[in-house]
Amino acid sequence: MEENFTERQLDRIIEMAWEDRTPFDAITYQFGISEKEVIEIMRREMKPKSFKMWRKRVQGRSTKHAKLRSGEVDRFKCSRQKHISNNKVSKRYS
């Protein structure tokens, strides 16, 4: 079942759950919790109306469920997401 997460970890779980392109599998991989536990956290941490809106949006969404994703998507993050190294965001200079 759910572990005792820090406030920062809870914030990250909620942020990942809100992101349309981040599958529940990525949250499981990073935090070791199931989709059901993510839903419980969202229910507990959000206002009822916000939770209902989020739940309606993610149910059946192919990007949130790895089994429903197309075979073309094989990563957890967007290909355009900036690479972070040494705590500095890499920047492109033109």
> Does 57 reside within a domain?
yes
Phi, psi of 10 (to 5 degrees): -60, -45
* Number of domains into which the chain is organized: 1
Position 2 in a domain: no
Q: Give the global pTM.
A: 0.65
Which tens digits make up the pLDDT trace of 2-60? Answer: 568 999 999 999 999 998 888 889 999 999 999 999 999 999 999 999 999 999 888 87
Domain that holds residue 80: 7-89
Q: Which residues contact 81 (CB under 8 A, 6 or more apart)?
A: none
pLDDT, residue 67, reads 57
Report helix, strand or coil for 44.
helix
Residue 16, φ and ψ in degrees, nearest 5: -65, -35
Question: How far apart are the C-alpha atoms of 69 and 11, rounded to whole Å?
Answer: 25
Is 18 contained in some domain? yes
**Bridge partner list, 88:** 85
1 found inside a domain? no
